[in-house]
């Protein structure tokens, strides 16, 4: 068995060496580009998903979000809850949010939305929003009479540049008026404008906890949500269960729970697209290699007949063509990996710009191995069929070809 394999491999190498070099190189390039498509295109989609998840966790929900119990508008006894949460193993810090409805006005523009109060020192330990200031600066503890706006709230002077209704191009230092639903009207200076490229975050307005206490006219021991940042490497689901065991009775959700089934369905849809890309690429590779081996076998029918006539077994001949196609597949995969690594390095240094942010390829090493196995199997099938058909013809029929 081993000797037969050696003979098959020898015949395969001799056939490739004597073949047309240009055809060989072109086949390797085609297989390599097919493998590149199998890896690179799904990596862009995966990169977009990973980027969205990172944006959401870093700037919008943190790792865990706590919301009021069902049928309750606020989280009560906020100080007690924060003391409890911050003692839980795996929790780095908890930061409360208090949202109050208001109408924002600026130079004839009006926008109805919630203004969220935060405690800046805690917030900077829980979210990375302070690092995304496009203009101006972030809030400081004790600031009053100031707000920071998301880019989509501030908007642009040219309405065609707005994705959502905005205040029409507010700048840092401008004044806006906030008419709260409790009847309080406040004049705010815009201290900063942030841009995270997350649609959820960039349509928010923040002020300080001290400012919101002035609006409400009382000390706030309530919150509409509490964001929780876990320690690096901690499992969010495990921390969530620990929070519940520690007696947190509010609605506790991980960031993935918060995004819900709609997000999971979207990710599954992207996974289907990735699968379609892989299947189409495999079909293309199989067809190309099938045609290459079919042409080789048709042009070598007489030689095949002579080999059969001198006693060479059919399986040796078939395996020689199988080795040829596997060698072409190996060379193509190596070429494809080099192309993928080059593209990944380039687009990591110069990410693709999307409205949702800059997207870089996200490649899972295991996917390279799995797709290489798929391509191997498709190549083996594509090479075996034409070789088997020719090798099973009668000797005289092959020699007369």
Check pLDDT > 90 for residue 213: yes
For residue 100, what pLDDT is reported?
A: 95
Domain coverage including residue 290: 2-56+262-399
For residue 71, what pLDDT is reported?
A: 86
Candidate ranges 37-41, 51-55, 121-125, 381-385; pick with highest mean pLDDT: 121-125
Check pLDDT > 90 for residue 270: no
Residue 220 sits in the same domain as residue 132: yes
For residue 396, what pLDDT is reported?
A: 46
**Would you say residue 6 lies in a domain?**
yes
Going by pLDDT thresholds of 50, 70 and 90, the confidence category of residue 398 is very low
Residue 293 sits in the same domain as residue 390: yes
Mean pLDDT of the chain: 85
For residue 310, what pLDDT is reported?
A: 57
Number of domains into which the chain is organized: 2
Residue 123 sits in the same domain as residue 6: no
Instruction: Encode pLDDT of 93-111 as tens digits.
Output: 999 999 999 999 998 899 9
Burial class of residue 92 in the structure, from the number of CB atoms within 10 Å of its CB (0-12 exposed, 13-18 middle, 19+ buried):
middle
Domain end position, chosen among 190, 215, 249: 249
**Would you say residue 90 lies in a domain?**
yes
User: Is residue 190 helix, strand or coil?
Assistant: strand
For residue 193, what pLDDT is reported?
A: 96
Residue 148 sits in the same domain as residue 228: yes
Of the listed ranges 157-166, 314-323, 364-373, the least confidently predicted one is: 314-323
Residue 349 sits in the same domain as residue 243: no
**Would you say residue 63 lies in a domain?**
no
**Would you say residue 97 lies in a domain?**
yes
Residue 127 sits in the same domain as residue 18: no
Q: Any idea which residue has 């490497």 for tokens?
A: 233
Burial class of residue 29 in the structure, from the number of CB atoms within 10 Å of its CB (0-12 exposed, 13-18 middle, 19+ buried):
middle
Q: What is the CA radius of gyration of the chain?
A: 32
Region class of 62: left (phi > 0), else alpha (psi between -120 and 50), else beta: left
Whether residue 253 contacts residue 57, with contact meaning beta carbons closer than 8 Å, is answered with no
For residue 300, what pLDDT is reported?
A: 58
Residue 141 sits in the same domain as residue 178: yes
């Amino acid at each position: 068995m081993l000797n037969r394999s050696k003979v098959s491999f020898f015949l395969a190498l001799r056939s490739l060496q004597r073949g047309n070099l240009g055809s060989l190189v072109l086949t390797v390039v085609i297989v390599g580009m097919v493998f590149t498509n199998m890896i690179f295109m799904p990596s862009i989609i995966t990169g977009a998903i990973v980027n969205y998840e990172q944006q959401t966790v870093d700037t919008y929900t943190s790792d865990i979000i706590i919301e009021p119990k069902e049928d309750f508008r606020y989280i009560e006894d906020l100080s007690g809850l924060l003391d409890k949460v911050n003692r839980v193993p795996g929790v780095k810090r908890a930061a409360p949010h208090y949202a109050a409805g208001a109408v924002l006005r600026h130079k004839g523009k009006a926008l109805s939305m919630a203004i969220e109060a935060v405690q800046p020192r805690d917030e900077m330990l829980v979210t990375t929003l302070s690092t995304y200031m496009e203009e101006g600066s972030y809030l400081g503890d004790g600031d009053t009479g100031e707000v920071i706006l998301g880019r989509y709230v501030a908007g642009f002077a040219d309405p065609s540049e707005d994705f959502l209704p905005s205040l029409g191009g507010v700048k840092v230092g401008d004044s806006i008026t906030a008419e709260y639903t409790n009847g309080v009207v406040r004049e705010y200076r815009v201290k900063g404008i942030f841009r995270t490229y997350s649609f959820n975050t960039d349509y928010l307005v923040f002020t300080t906890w001290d400012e919101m206490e002035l609006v409400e006219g009382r000390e706030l021991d309530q919150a509409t949500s509490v964001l929780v940042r876990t320690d690096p490497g901690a499992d969010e689901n495990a921390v969530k269960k620990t929070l519940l065991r520690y007696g947190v009775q509010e609605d506790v959700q991980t960031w993935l729970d918060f995004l819900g089934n709609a997000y999971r369905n979207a990710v599954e849809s992207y996974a289907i697209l990735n699968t379609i890309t892989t299947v189409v690429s495999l079909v293309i590779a199989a067809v190309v290699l099938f045609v290459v081996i079919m042409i080789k076998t048709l042009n070598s029918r007489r030689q095949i007949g002579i080999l059969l006539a001198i006693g060479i077994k059919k399986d040796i001949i078939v395996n020689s063509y199988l080795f040829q196609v596997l060698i072409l597949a190996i060379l193509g995969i190596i070429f494809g990996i080099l192309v993928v690594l080059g593209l990944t390095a380039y687009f990591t240094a110069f990410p693709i710009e999307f409205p949702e942010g800059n997207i870089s390829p996200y490649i899972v090493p295991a996917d390279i191995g799995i797709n290489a196995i798929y391509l191997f199997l498709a190549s083996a099938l594509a090479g075996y069929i034409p070789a088997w058909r020719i090798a099973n013809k009668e000797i005289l029929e092959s020699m007369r070809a």
